[in-house]
Amino acid sequence: MIRQAVLEYDHADDALDRLDDLIDDRRAHVLHGHNGYGVVCAVYPDIVDYPATAFGGECTDAEVERLKAFDADVLIAIGGGKLVDTAKLVAYQRSVPLIVIPTLASNCAAFTPLSVVYQEDGSYDRYDMFRVVIERVIVDSRVMRRSPYEYFRAGVIDTVAKFYEARYLSGDSSIDAGVNTGLALAEQCGRLVELDLSEHAFKSYSDDVRFAIDHVLAIGGAVGGFGDAGTRVAVGHAVHNALSRFDSTHTFLHGDKVGFGLIVQERLRHSADAPYLEAWLKRFGAPTTLETLGIGPDDIPILVDSVMVETELQQLPAPLNKDFLKIIFESLQLCVYN
């Protein structure tokens, strides 16, 4: 099935200035996070005129229930991925349209009709898919360029992952129109590795950075929207989930762990791109050894078992070779060259 959630996407140097016209004479309510909200207020001071509720920080059923108590015709979400995921559930359950103002260039939450829901203790619970109407995603370069570079960097890796994982699942083309479109968009996401996305380029908001932000926020989300199960996550994200069980990896961003997972995935499939991908990740400042992630040789059997469990839930084209997976992890333990 093809699913899209967003009616309009506006990425411009003055995108926020059109918010009032969009709201028109409707009653609006704001849900905002903590980081980034101050930047939005500085760029667009009128935002504080709308009634607002602060987000608690996690997308849980209890938080959705708490945030549902507002009286308005349209909801405005200002923040990062977790806040957007929560706001989508709130808007869906209250049957009101949503406007999203991302404050981080790190995820495609504004473009996907689903939310990742966590349990009260912070562990992963499930993801919900639903029909939510996102009227507009407002990406204002004045906000984006003041967001942390690290999040953008990790977001780019997570977007490049769309290419490698979609190709792992569905190859280079498909007779299914949705999957084929997803693959074409994913290929475009893979080309981000060719751009200058350094911190200097980010601060100057170069054309390459603007192009990459559109892929992180919008095109990357559309990959799964078109391709559905044929272009979703594969081994890269399974390795990410397995790594996340180790406390030492909690200080690393999602995209950094996914990047390491991609190295494992591409080695598993004997891809000619593996060394190229690895060199790019290293240049981009992402971890490429288990040692960097704080995982020792003794942890490898646990890691292998976790990946096997994770991938059992996925519809991979073929089962993983457990012995080969272990050999790959062992070879990625330490940096033997460089």
- CA-CA-CA-CA dihedral for 39, 44, 49, 55, to nearest 10: -30
Report residue 148: phi and psi, to 5°: -65, 130
**Alpha carbon distance 268, 184 (integer Å):** 23
**Alpha carbon distance 153, 138 (integer Å):** 20
State which residue, 127 or 324, has the beta carbon closest to Zn ion. 127
Q: Specify whether the CB–CB gap between 19 and 70 falls below 8 A.
A: no
Q: At closest approach, how far in Å is the CB of 209 from Zn ion?
A: 20
Provide the binding-site residues for Zn ion, judged by CB under 5 A.
158
State which residue, 158 or 256, has the beta carbon closest to Zn ion. 158
Q: At closest approach, how far in Å is the CB of 5 from Zn ion?
A: 17
Q: At closest approach, how far in Å is the CB of 134 from Zn ion?
A: 19
Q: At closest approach, how far in Å is the CB of 76 from Zn ion?
A: 25
Q: At closest approach, how far in Å is the CB of 231 from Zn ion?
A: 13
State which residue, 85 or 158, has the beta carbon closest to Zn ion. 158
Q: At closest approach, how far in Å is the CB of 255 from Zn ion?
A: 7
**Alpha carbon distance 15, 330 (integer Å):** 48
State which residue, 29 or 162, has the beta carbon closest to Zn ion. 162
Encoded tokens for 140: 């204002």
Q: Specify whether the CB–CB gap between 164 and 276 falls below 8 A.
A: no
State which residue, 32 or 232, has the beta carbon closest to Zn ion. 232
State which residue, 258 or 300, has the beta carbon closest to Zn ion. 258
Nearest Cα neighbor of 224 from 308, 266, 161, 139 is 161
Q: At closest approach, how far in Å is the CB of 85 from Zn ion?
A: 13
Upper half-sphere CA count for residue 289 (Cβ side, 13 Å): 12
Q: Which residue, judged by CB position, is nearest to Zn ion in the bound state?
A: 158
Q: At closest approach, how far in Å is the CB of 90 from Zn ion?
A: 22
State which residue, 158 or 310, has the beta carbon closest to Zn ion. 158
State which residue, 63 or 158, has the beta carbon closest to Zn ion. 158
Distant-in-sequence, close-in-space partners of 21: CB < 8 Å, separation ≥ 6: none
Distant-in-sequence, close-in-space partners of 106: CB < 8 Å, separation ≥ 6: 80, 81, 151, 152, 154, 155, 158, 216, 253, 255
**Alpha carbon distance 54, 77 (integer Å):** 10
**Alpha carbon distance 112, 188 (integer Å):** 18
Q: At closest approach, how far in Å is the CB of 258 from Zn ion?
A: 5
State which residue, 44 or 151, has the beta carbon closest to Zn ion. 151
How many other C-beta atoms lie within 10 A of the C-beta of residue 1? 8
Residue ranges in the chain assigned as alpha helix (H): 19-23, 37-43, 61-67, 81-94, 141-144, 149-170, 177-190, 199-204, 207-214, 220-227, 235-243, 254-268, 274-283, 300-312, 322-331
